[in-house]
Amino acid sequence: MKIKSAEFVVSNSDVSKCPKNSIPEYAFIGRSNVGKSSLINMLTSRKSLAKTSGRPGKTQLINHFIINDNWYLVDLPGYGYARVSKTSKKTFQKFITQYFALREQLVSAFVLVDIRHNPQPIDLEFMQWLGEHGIPFSIIFTKADKLKPKAIDNHIESYKNVLLETWEEMPNYFITSSSKNIGKEDVLEYIDSLNSN
């Protein structure tokens, strides 16, 4: 898919105020610092569409971007930031639950995972939750440039082993690096294929 246009539309803390039209949308979510903003910038070929930030946990909003005038890319807040209080963790949960419960326009979520880390309970629990609520998702492994090909294979393998304890099959996944521009076309082609269904 060629990106002809990518524009910020609106930021919200209230799901009911998100765009009301029926344009298909794709939500990107993951632990703080996973490389979500960098990935969004890579996908859209824009340097700073999503604000990369040295301060994880800062963006606690639902951000809608319109791509090629025909689909929304939704940047959701990062989760699992250790320094946020219990109250803001609760607020976050409610907010995300509402987003996924109410957004009928959502075609698929992308759960971002840093490829260097072993499967983390918070990511696994989140994927489990999506599965239980019937929300389609793919996994995007980020920062692939940080590992050698063999180590990438090993990490994917260990992820598969853990997921297959609870899932019948490994969810669809992508291997990406925003620094090295890897995986961009795979993700965009996938979105394109879902858009034309």
For residue 20 the two structure tokens come to 């009301």
Query: What's the rounded Cα separation, in Å, for the pair 104 and 29?
Result: 17
Q: What residues contact 76, with CB distance under 8 A and at least 6 apart?
A: 27, 28, 29, 62, 63, 96, 99
Query: What's the rounded Cα separation, in Å, for the pair 88 and 160?
Result: 32
* Residue (179 or 195) nearer to ligand GDP, CB: 179
The yes or no reply on residue 181 touching ligand GDP (CB under 6 A) is no
The yes or no reply on residue 183 touching ligand GDP (CB under 6 A) is no
* Residue (66 or 144) nearer to ligand GDP, CB: 144
Full DSSP string of 128-174: HHHHHTT--EEEEEE-GGGS-HHHHHHHHHHHHHHHTTT-SSPPPEE
* Residue (71 or 78) nearer to ligand GDP, CB: 78
The yes or no reply on residue 155 touching ligand GDP (CB under 6 A) is no
The yes or no reply on residue 177 touching ligand GDP (CB under 6 A) is yes
Query: What's the rounded Cα separation, in Å, for the pair 111 and 108?
Result: 10
* Angle (nearest 5°) at CA 116 between 85 and 31: 25
Q: Cα separations (Å) of 134 from 42, 91, 127, 131?
A: 28, 22, 11, 5
Q: Which position among 142, 175, 184, 191 is part of the footprint of ligand GDP (CB under 6 A)?
A: 142
The yes or no reply on residue 44 touching ligand GDP (CB under 6 A) is no
The binding track of 75-114 with respect to ligand GDP, each residue x by CB under 6 A or -, is: ---x------------------------------------
CB of 3 to ligand GDP, least distance (A): 18
* Residue (180 or 193) nearer to ligand GDP, CB: 180
Query: What's the rounded Cα separation, in Å, for the pair 23 and 27?
Result: 13
The yes or no reply on residue 63 touching ligand GDP (CB under 6 A) is no
Q: Which position among 9, 145, 192, 195 is part of the footprint of ligand GDP (CB under 6 A)?
A: 145
Answer whether 119's CB lies under 8 Å from 162's CB: yes
Q: Which position among 34, 96, 127, 130 is part of the footprint of ligand GDP (CB under 6 A)?
A: 34
Query: Which residues make up the interface to ligand GDP (CB under 6 A)?
Result: 32-38, 52-53, 56, 78, 142-143, 145-146, 177-179
